[in-house]
Amino acid sequence: MLIENIKSPDDLKRLSSDELRYLAEELRETIIERVSINGGHLASNLGVVELTLAIHYIFDSPRDRIIWDVGHQSYTHKLITGRYERFSSLRKHKGLSGFPKIDESNHDAFGTGHSSTAISAALGMLVARDHLKMRNEDCGMRNENSEIRNPKSEINKVIAVIGDGAMTAGIAFEGLNHAGHLKKDLIVVLNDNEMSISRNVGALSAYLNRILTGDLYKKFKKDTKAFIESIPKLGGPFSKIAQKAEETLKGLFLPGLLFEELGFNYVGPIDGHNIELLIETFKKIKNADVPTLIHVITKKGKGYEFSEKNPCIFHGVGPFEVETGDPVSDKKVLSYSEMFGRHLTELAGNDKRIIAISAAMREGTGLECFAEKYPDRFYDVGIAEPHAITFAAGLATHGLRPVVAIYSTFLQRGYDEIIHDVCLQDLPVMFAIDRAGIVGEDGPTHQGVFDISYLRHIPNLVVMSPKDDMELRDMIKLGLRHNGPSAIRYPRGRIISNFKFQISNSELEMGKAEVLREGDDIALIAIGNTVHPALVAAERLEKEGIRTSVINARFIKPLDKALIFSVSSSIKRIITIEENVLAGGFGSAVLEYLNTTDTHDVKIKILGIPDEFVEQGSQAILRKKYGIDEEGIYNACKSFLSIPLSVL
634-646 pLDDT per residue, tens: 999 999 998 665 5
Strand partners, 335: 494
What average pLDDT does this structure show over 167-183?
Answer: 91
Q: How confident is the model at residue 148 (pLDDT cuts 50, 70, 90)?
A: very low
Helices then strands, counting H and E runs in the chain, come out as 24, 17
How does the average pLDDT of the chain come out, rounded? 87
How much helix, strand and coil, in percent to the nearest 5, is found in the chain? Answer: 45, 15, 40
Instruction: Summarize pLDDT for 393-415 with one digit per residue, the tens.
Output: 999 999 999 999 999 999 999 99
* SS3 state at 32: helix
User: Cβ distance 32 to 259 under 8 Å?
Assistant: no
CB atoms within 10 A of CB 79: 26
- Is 413 designated active site? yes
Q: Which residue out of 65, 78, 300, 362 is catalytically annotated?
A: 300
What average pLDDT does this structure show over 523-551?
Answer: 96
Burial class (CB in 10 A: 0-12, 13-18, 19+), 548: buried
Q: Report if residue 226 sits inside a domain.
A: yes
User: Cβ distance 497 to 470 under 8 Å?
Assistant: no
* SS3 state at 563: helix
**Ordered DSSP codes for 294-337:** EEEE--TTTT-HHHHH-TTTTTSB-SB-TTT--BSS--SSPBHH
Q: Which residue out of 260, 338, 385, 578 is catalytically annotated?
A: 385
Q: Which residue out of 184, 284, 413, 467 is catalytically annotated?
A: 413
Question: Are 441 and 585 in the same domain?
Answer: no
- Is 283 designated active site? no
**Which domain-ending residue is among 454, 489, 524?**
489
d(CA 173, CA 121): 13
Question: Are 133 and 279 in the same domain?
Answer: yes
Question: Are 37 and 154 in the same domain?
Answer: yes
Question: Are 231 and 291 in the same domain?
Answer: no
Q: Report if residue 327 sits inside a domain.
A: no
Q: How confident is the model at residue 231 (pLDDT cuts 50, 70, 90)?
A: low
The one-letter amino acid code at 15 reads L
CATH code for the domain in which residue 388 is found? 3.40.50.970
3-class SS string, 452-496: HHHHCCCCCCEEECCCCHHHHHHHHHHHHHCCCCEEEECCCCECC
Question: Are 170 and 224 in the same domain?
Answer: no
Q: How confident is the model at residue 550 (pLDDT cuts 50, 70, 90)?
A: very high
Question: Are 454 and 594 in the same domain?
Answer: no
Give the helix ranges, DSSP H, for 39-117. 43-46, 49-58, 75-79
Q: Report if residue 340 sits inside a domain.
A: yes
3-class SS string, 480-491: HHCCCCEEEECC
545: containing domain: 514-647
User: Cβ distance 577 to 527 under 8 Å?
Assistant: yes
Burial class (CB in 10 A: 0-12, 13-18, 19+), 415: middle
Task: Domain count for the chain, please give it.
Answer: 4
d(CA 477, CA 466): 12
